[in-house]
Structure 1
Amino acid sequence: MHITAMSAIVLASLAGVAHAEGAKQDFTLINKTGYELSEVYVSPSKSNDWQEDVLGRDTLGDGERTNIHFSRNTSTCRWDLKVVYTVDSSSAVWSNIDLCSVSKITIRYDKNNDVTRASFE
Protein backbone atom coordinates (compact mmCIF):
# COMPACT_ATOMS: atom_id res chain seq x y z
CA MET A 1 0.00 0.00 0.00
CA HIS A 2 1.33 3.43 -0.93
CA ILE A 3 1.33 5.72 2.11
CA THR A 4 1.10 9.38 1.18
CA ALA A 5 1.84 12.49 3.17
CA MET A 6 -1.93 12.96 3.39
CA SER A 7 -2.27 9.80 5.45
CA ALA A 8 0.29 10.98 7.95
CA ILE A 9 -1.32 14.40 8.14
CA VAL A 10 -4.79 13.02 8.77
CA LEU A 11 -3.48 10.55 11.35
CA ALA A 12 -1.66 13.34 13.15
CA SER A 13 -4.85 15.38 13.23
CA LEU A 14 -6.59 12.78 15.33
CA ALA A 15 -4.25 13.44 18.22
CA GLY A 16 -6.56 16.35 19.02
CA VAL A 17 -4.08 19.07 18.25
CA ALA A 18 -5.81 22.29 17.22
CA HIS A 19 -3.97 24.14 14.51
CA ALA A 20 -4.28 27.92 14.42
CA GLU A 21 -3.77 27.89 10.68
CA GLY A 22 -5.69 24.96 9.26
CA ALA A 23 -6.05 24.03 5.62
CA LYS A 24 -9.21 24.90 3.75
CA GLN A 25 -10.00 21.16 3.54
CA ASP A 26 -10.21 20.67 7.34
CA PHE A 27 -13.56 19.35 8.50
CA THR A 28 -15.40 17.89 11.48
CA LEU A 29 -16.97 14.45 11.08
CA ILE A 30 -20.01 13.83 13.30
CA ASN A 31 -21.38 10.31 13.79
CA LYS A 32 -25.14 10.27 14.37
CA THR A 33 -25.74 6.81 12.94
CA GLY A 34 -26.69 5.06 16.16
CA TYR A 35 -23.64 2.81 15.74
CA GLU A 36 -19.91 2.88 16.39
CA LEU A 37 -17.55 3.37 13.43
CA SER A 38 -14.38 1.29 13.38
CA GLU A 39 -12.71 2.93 10.40
CA VAL A 40 -12.77 6.24 8.51
CA TYR A 41 -10.91 6.85 5.26
CA VAL A 42 -10.36 10.14 3.45
CA SER A 43 -8.62 10.00 0.08
CA PRO A 44 -8.27 12.32 -2.89
CA SER A 45 -11.03 11.63 -5.42
CA LYS A 46 -8.41 10.95 -8.09
CA SER A 47 -6.81 8.21 -5.97
CA ASN A 48 -7.46 4.49 -6.47
CA ASP A 49 -6.37 3.75 -2.89
CA TRP A 50 -8.18 4.47 0.40
CA GLN A 51 -4.89 5.16 2.17
CA GLU A 52 -4.78 4.58 5.95
CA ASP A 53 -7.67 4.54 8.43
CA VAL A 54 -7.63 8.06 9.92
CA LEU A 55 -9.00 6.75 13.23
CA GLY A 56 -5.95 4.56 13.68
CA ARG A 57 -6.65 2.28 16.65
CA ASP A 58 -9.57 4.40 17.86
CA THR A 59 -13.26 4.18 17.04
CA LEU A 60 -15.87 6.90 16.60
CA GLY A 61 -18.89 6.23 18.78
CA ASP A 62 -22.44 7.33 18.08
CA GLY A 63 -22.82 11.00 18.96
CA GLU A 64 -19.07 11.59 18.83
CA ARG A 65 -17.14 13.86 16.50
CA THR A 66 -13.58 14.08 15.27
CA ASN A 67 -11.70 16.92 13.62
CA ILE A 68 -9.78 15.98 10.51
CA HIS A 69 -6.93 18.32 9.60
CA PHE A 70 -4.95 18.64 6.40
CA SER A 71 -1.57 20.20 5.71
CA ARG A 72 -1.82 23.87 4.76
CA ASN A 73 -0.09 23.08 1.47
CA THR A 74 -2.68 20.47 0.45
CA SER A 75 -4.17 21.81 -2.77
CA THR A 76 -6.78 19.24 -3.81
CA CYS A 77 -10.38 20.15 -2.94
CA ARG A 78 -12.16 16.95 -4.10
CA TRP A 79 -12.06 14.03 -1.65
CA ASP A 80 -13.82 10.72 -1.05
CA LEU A 81 -14.99 9.57 2.37
CA LYS A 82 -15.56 5.99 3.54
CA VAL A 83 -16.83 4.88 6.95
CA VAL A 84 -16.93 1.29 8.24
CA TYR A 85 -19.32 0.13 10.95
CA THR A 86 -17.91 -1.85 13.89
CA VAL A 87 -21.00 -4.07 14.28
CA ASP A 88 -20.90 -5.79 10.88
CA SER A 89 -18.01 -4.27 8.88
CA SER A 90 -20.45 -2.79 6.36
CA SER A 91 -19.42 0.53 4.85
CA ALA A 92 -20.76 3.71 3.28
CA VAL A 93 -18.94 5.83 0.72
CA TRP A 94 -19.32 9.40 -0.53
CA SER A 95 -17.37 10.56 -3.57
CA ASN A 96 -16.13 13.85 -4.89
CA ILE A 97 -16.81 15.96 -1.78
CA ASP A 98 -15.61 19.55 -2.14
CA LEU A 99 -13.79 19.90 1.17
CA CYS A 100 -12.75 23.44 0.25
CA SER A 101 -16.38 24.47 0.83
CA VAL A 102 -17.41 21.91 3.50
CA SER A 103 -16.43 22.30 7.16
CA LYS A 104 -18.75 19.76 8.77
CA ILE A 105 -20.02 16.34 7.65
CA THR A 106 -22.74 14.67 9.69
CA ILE A 107 -23.59 11.06 8.93
CA ARG A 108 -26.86 9.36 9.86
CA TYR A 109 -28.14 5.84 9.34
CA ASP A 110 -31.67 5.43 7.96
CA LYS A 111 -32.86 2.04 9.29
CA ASN A 112 -36.05 2.05 7.18
CA ASN A 113 -34.09 2.23 3.94
CA ASP A 114 -30.85 0.61 5.19
CA VAL A 115 -28.71 3.51 3.98
CA THR A 116 -26.20 5.84 5.57
CA ARG A 117 -26.70 9.47 4.56
CA ALA A 118 -24.45 12.47 4.93
CA SER A 119 -25.19 16.16 5.24
CA PHE A 120 -22.53 18.68 4.30
CA GLU A 121 -22.19 22.12 5.84
Structure 2
Amino acid sequence: MNMFCRTTAVLATFGFFATPVLAEDLVFTLNNFSALGLVEFYTSPAETNDWEEDILGENILAPGMSGEVLIADGRTQCTYDLLFVMSDGQELEDTVNMCELASYTLQ
Protein backbone atom coordinates (compact mmCIF):
# COMPACT_ATOMS: atom_id res chain seq x y z
CA MET A 1 0.00 0.00 0.00
CA ASN A 2 1.52 3.36 -0.90
CA MET A 3 2.03 6.13 1.67
CA PHE A 4 -1.05 8.14 0.57
CA CYS A 5 -3.42 5.18 0.86
CA ARG A 6 -1.99 4.20 4.23
CA THR A 7 -2.36 7.78 5.54
CA THR A 8 -5.94 7.98 4.28
CA ALA A 9 -6.80 4.67 5.94
CA VAL A 10 -5.32 5.78 9.27
CA LEU A 11 -7.00 9.17 9.19
CA ALA A 12 -10.34 7.59 8.37
CA THR A 13 -9.89 5.27 11.34
CA PHE A 14 -9.29 8.22 13.60
CA GLY A 15 -12.49 9.93 12.46
CA PHE A 16 -10.61 12.58 10.51
CA PHE A 17 -13.33 13.15 7.95
CA ALA A 18 -16.22 15.50 8.63
CA THR A 19 -18.00 14.23 11.69
CA PRO A 20 -20.12 16.27 14.05
CA VAL A 21 -18.28 16.82 17.32
CA LEU A 22 -20.33 17.02 20.50
CA ALA A 23 -19.30 19.05 23.55
CA GLU A 24 -18.20 15.87 25.35
CA ASP A 25 -16.11 14.62 22.43
CA LEU A 26 -12.33 14.81 22.73
CA VAL A 27 -10.18 15.47 19.66
CA PHE A 28 -6.39 15.58 19.42
CA THR A 29 -3.62 14.94 16.91
CA LEU A 30 -1.52 11.83 17.48
CA ASN A 31 2.02 12.15 16.09
CA ASN A 32 4.21 9.08 15.72
CA PHE A 33 7.71 10.52 15.56
CA SER A 34 9.23 7.30 16.92
CA ALA A 35 11.26 4.83 14.86
CA LEU A 36 8.54 2.16 15.23
CA GLY A 37 5.06 1.69 13.87
CA LEU A 38 2.16 2.08 16.29
CA VAL A 39 0.10 -1.11 15.90
CA GLU A 40 -2.43 -0.76 18.73
CA PHE A 41 -3.75 2.27 20.62
CA TYR A 42 -6.15 2.10 23.55
CA THR A 43 -7.71 4.74 25.77
CA SER A 44 -9.92 4.54 28.81
CA PRO A 45 -11.12 6.91 31.51
CA ALA A 46 -8.51 6.96 34.29
CA GLU A 47 -10.91 5.65 36.93
CA THR A 48 -11.76 2.45 34.99
CA ASN A 49 -9.76 -0.77 35.11
CA ASP A 50 -10.37 -1.94 31.54
CA TRP A 51 -9.15 -0.67 28.19
CA GLU A 52 -11.64 0.39 25.53
CA GLU A 53 -11.29 -1.17 22.04
CA ASP A 54 -8.20 -0.63 19.88
CA ILE A 55 -8.64 2.72 18.11
CA LEU A 56 -6.39 1.68 15.21
CA GLY A 57 -8.19 -1.56 14.45
CA GLU A 58 -6.24 -3.26 11.66
CA ASN A 59 -4.36 -0.06 10.71
CA ILE A 60 -0.83 0.98 11.67
CA LEU A 61 0.36 4.51 12.34
CA ALA A 62 3.76 4.41 10.62
CA PRO A 63 6.79 6.36 11.87
CA GLY A 64 6.58 10.02 10.85
CA MET A 65 2.80 9.88 10.39
CA SER A 66 0.05 11.77 12.25
CA GLY A 67 -3.68 11.39 12.55
CA GLU A 68 -6.57 13.05 14.29
CA VAL A 69 -8.10 11.03 17.13
CA LEU A 70 -11.75 11.45 18.07
CA ILE A 71 -12.93 9.97 21.36
CA ALA A 72 -16.70 10.22 21.25
CA ASP A 73 -17.63 8.23 24.31
CA GLY A 74 -20.13 10.77 25.68
CA ARG A 75 -18.26 11.12 28.96
CA THR A 76 -17.62 14.53 30.47
CA GLN A 77 -14.35 13.77 32.27
CA CYS A 78 -10.90 14.83 31.15
CA THR A 79 -8.37 12.38 32.58
CA TYR A 80 -7.68 9.34 30.39
CA ASP A 81 -5.14 6.53 30.41
CA LEU A 82 -3.40 5.83 27.09
CA LEU A 83 -1.79 2.54 26.03
CA PHE A 84 0.40 2.38 22.92
CA VAL A 85 1.64 -0.93 21.51
CA MET A 86 4.56 -0.55 19.13
CA SER A 87 5.53 -2.85 16.25
CA ASP A 88 8.27 -4.49 18.35
CA GLY A 89 5.74 -5.36 21.09
CA GLN A 90 6.87 -2.61 23.45
CA GLU A 91 4.00 -1.08 25.47
CA LEU A 92 3.96 2.55 26.58
CA GLU A 93 1.41 3.95 29.03
CA ASP A 94 0.55 7.50 30.02
CA THR A 95 -2.23 9.40 31.79
CA VAL A 96 -3.22 12.78 30.36
CA ASN A 97 -5.79 15.52 30.72
CA MET A 98 -7.52 15.19 27.35
CA CYS A 99 -9.45 18.46 27.77
CA GLU A 100 -6.16 20.38 27.58
CA LEU A 101 -4.52 18.16 24.95
CA ALA A 102 -4.18 19.48 21.40
CA SER A 103 -1.63 16.87 20.33
CA TYR A 104 0.27 13.89 21.68
CA THR A 105 3.66 12.87 20.29
CA LEU A 106 5.36 9.50 20.48
CA GLN A 107 9.15 9.84 20.19
Q: Alpha carbon RMSD of aligned pairs, Å? A: 2.1
| Structure (1/2) with the larger helix percentage | 2
Higher RCO structure (Cα 8 Å, ≥6 apart):
2
Q: How many residues align?
A: 95
Instruction: Provide the TM-score with structure 1 as the length reference.
Output: 0.69
Report the equivalent of 2:29.
28
| Offset, 1:56 | 0.4
How many percent identity over aligned positions? Answer: 28
Measure the CA separation in 2 of the matches of 1:24 and 1:90: 29
Q: Which aligned pairs between 1:31-110 and structure 2 lie closer than 5 A?
A: 31-71=32-72, 73-86=74-87, 88-95=88-95, 97-108=96-107
Point out where structure 1 has 5 or more consecutive residues left out of the alignment: 1-11, 109-121
Instruction: Provide the TM-score with structure 2 as the length reference.
Output: 0.77
Report the equivalent of 1:17.
17
* C-alpha spacing 1:50/1:15, structure 2 compared with 1 (3 Å): same
| Offset, 1:17 | 2.1
Q: Secondary structure at the match of 1:69?
A: strand
